Structure 1
Amino acid sequence: MGHDAHAPYQVVAADIRRRLEAGEWSAGAKLPSRAQLARDYGVGTNVLQKAQERLIAEGLLEGRAGSGTYAAQPRERRRMIRSRHRERRGTSPFRADMSDLGRAASWEANSQARTPAPEGIGHRLGINPGDACVRTDYEFLADGHPVQLATSWEPMSITADTPILLPEMGPLAGQGVVERMRSIGIHIKSALEIPRPGRATPEQANLLGINTGDQVMLIERTYYDDSGRPVETADIVVPADRWEIAYEFSVEAP
């Protein structure tokens, strides 16, 4: 037996959708409380919640923890270009990328030294599982809004006893991996990025302001020095409904 097309939550969702399309609530406007709307529609709050969740999944509403439910702002999908040139600008690649788009870049970071490398990270870095690394978790923001997440791993065998041990502290804080490694005589020659589609975990969704299960782009990135040694690897998470990833390549003349 198929799903009932006239289930109570679907009826409520259809009417709220109609009211949104009619402009009863403009973009960014706060809707009445869930309890109030449930009374207006003569349904339980669980039915109203399910209706709102459906509209959030459609991108028509957005929930804000501790604040309520709002008519969603139109989502603008921007292009994030990744190329070798982004590493040659003498500053953080993310800051330069956002500057190109006219946005102010910032980020929050938390580093933990002496973190044992998980097996997969050890393989990517060419070290043994359990070897000491510095793990740094990032939340990147543009104009104060979350843009992407990243978890970076650097072997302490490379950075221990140097001023760049902690990526966001010291004289080159915030300068990016390429500039930091150059300061200790390590020249990054190449980077390998492997993009994969994925779905946001509850933790990722909470940090990015999206819904659990929303589509994201997962990018596995590893930097290599001029001897081919991996010196840093990171897992990057980008919400797919807000950003498209474009790769730019140089074409050498014959």
Structure 2
Amino acid sequence: MTLSSGSVSSPKYQRLAADLRRRIAAGEWRADTALPVESELEQQYGVARNTVRLAVDVLVNEGRLVRLQGKGTFLREHPMLDHRAYGPPAAPLPVPTQRDGLAAPSEVYSVEADAAGRVLSAEFEMLIVRARVDVAERLGLRPGEAVVVRRQLRLLDREPYSIEESHYRAGVAAGTALMEPDPVPGGDEAVLAALGRQEVGAVDQLVARMPGPEEAQWFQGGPGVPLLVQTRVTYDRRGPVRVIETRYSADRCRLVYGLGELGAR
């Protein structure tokens, strides 16, 4: 087996890592089967032991492989969950007052997890903090003004899946169930609707970045696995209502956006 010449400046271990990715994508190995040991890969590719080790290190850092002491190197499979970030719901949702793309997030996650045969759980907390500059700008506040943050740490089959933080103006949340340190029956959307602030539109911003130390510790991903960060600003007829920032580990989530008429899909 030979390696593609690739870029002239591409080190041999990177070309080997690329070919191992190709073989993984082709289904050559399963999660319950150990990959060939280093000596076998040396012979297959005609490269030095250190080249093999560096290539495997790359895939371990990417979260694709895991080394188990005394057992070998295996695929590290995180089942992907498609999260319908915007568009008609994949299944009927128990929130008929919300428009298709703005159905209560917790209800959407629950439906998707049930459809995939997975167990969704969440840890919840409420915080009062100083608004970050970007959050303040989106909510029309001065930087440093107080905002109420409702945070959910979601797990699928007890594996970290997402961190969601909803930022509210303190004046909107004051005196409502949004100030409670527990989930609200019917979701935050029910509280907003009762206040006459029902969301009718949203703008999303998607970025990919590497996790910070605390995020990496919570997600327990490989050091080379990025986060998908979805920042959604929701609006009612009067202006911005809240900023929802959700962070996903890129090896566990696909964000799905539906556009246009999808009735014939």
Give the Cα–Cα distance (whole angstroms) in 2 for the partners of residues 197 and 232 of structure 1.
Answer: 19
Give the Cα–Cα distance (whole angstroms) in 2 for the partners of residues 80 and 26 of structure 1.
Answer: 28
The alignment status of 1:149 with 2:163, answered yes or no, reads yes
Describe the shift of the 1:75–1:90 C-alpha distance in structure 2 as closer, same or farther (beyond 3 A). closer
Give the Cα–Cα distance (whole angstroms) in 2 for the partners of residues 239 and 112 of structure 1.
Answer: 23
For structure 1, the 5+ residue unaligned runs are 32-36
Give the Cα–Cα distance (whole angstroms) in 2 for the partners of residues 99 and 22 of structure 1.
Answer: 27
Give the Cα–Cα distance (whole angstroms) in 1 for the partners of residues 101 and 65 of structure 2.
Answer: 35
Identify the match of residue 111 of structure 1 among 112, 116, 126.
126
Deviation at 1:134, TM superposition (A): 1.4
Describe the shift of the 1:188–1:102 C-alpha distance in structure 2 as closer, same or farther (beyond 3 A). farther
Describe the shift of the 1:205–1:111 C-alpha distance in structure 2 as closer, same or farther (beyond 3 A). same
Deviation at 1:85, TM superposition (A): 1.9
For structure 2, the 5+ residue unaligned runs are 1-7, 43-48, 88-98
Q: How does 1:1-254 map to 2 (within 5 A)?
A: 2=9, 5=12, 27-28=31-32, 50-57=54-61, 60-62=64-66, 70-73=74-77, 75-76=79-80, 78=82, 80-83=84-87, 84-85=99-100, 87-88=102-103, 92-113=107-128, 115-166=129-180, 168-169=181-182, 172=184, 175-183=186-194, 185-203=195-213, 204-228=215-239, 230-241=240-251, 242-249=253-260
Give the Cα–Cα distance (whole angstroms) in 2 for the partners of residues 213 and 248 of structure 1.
Answer: 32
Deviation at 1:94, TM superposition (A): 2.4
Give the Cα–Cα distance (whole angstroms) in 1 for the partners of residues 178 and 221 of structure 2.
Answer: 33
Report Cα offsets for 1:69-94 as digits up to 9, x if no partner. Answer: 65323754635342342544796332
Give the Cα–Cα distance (whole angstroms) in 1 for the partners of residues 27 and 134 of structure 2.
Answer: 51
How many pairs were matched up? Answer: 234
- 1:81 touches 1:248 (CA, 8 Å); kept in 2? no
- 2:102 touches 2:199 (CA, 8 Å); kept in 1? no
- 2:83 touches 2:109 (CA, 8 Å); kept in 1? no
TM-score, length-scaled by structure 2: 0.64
* Partner of residue 93, structure 2: none
Give the Cα–Cα distance (whole angstroms) in 2 for the partners of residues 249 and 89 of structure 1.
Answer: 21
TM-score, length-scaled by structure 1: 0.67
Give the Cα–Cα distance (whole angstroms) in 2 for the partners of residues 74 and 164 of structure 1.
Answer: 33
Deviation at 1:238, TM superposition (A): 2.8
RMSD: 4.5
- 1:30 touches 1:69 (CA, 8 Å); kept in 2? yes
Describe the shift of the 1:137–1:58 C-alpha distance in structure 2 as closer, same or farther (beyond 3 A). same
Describe the shift of the 1:93–1:177 C-alpha distance in structure 2 as closer, same or farther (beyond 3 A). farther
- 1:87 touches 1:178 (CA, 8 Å); kept in 2? no
Deviation at 1:125, TM superposition (A): 0.9
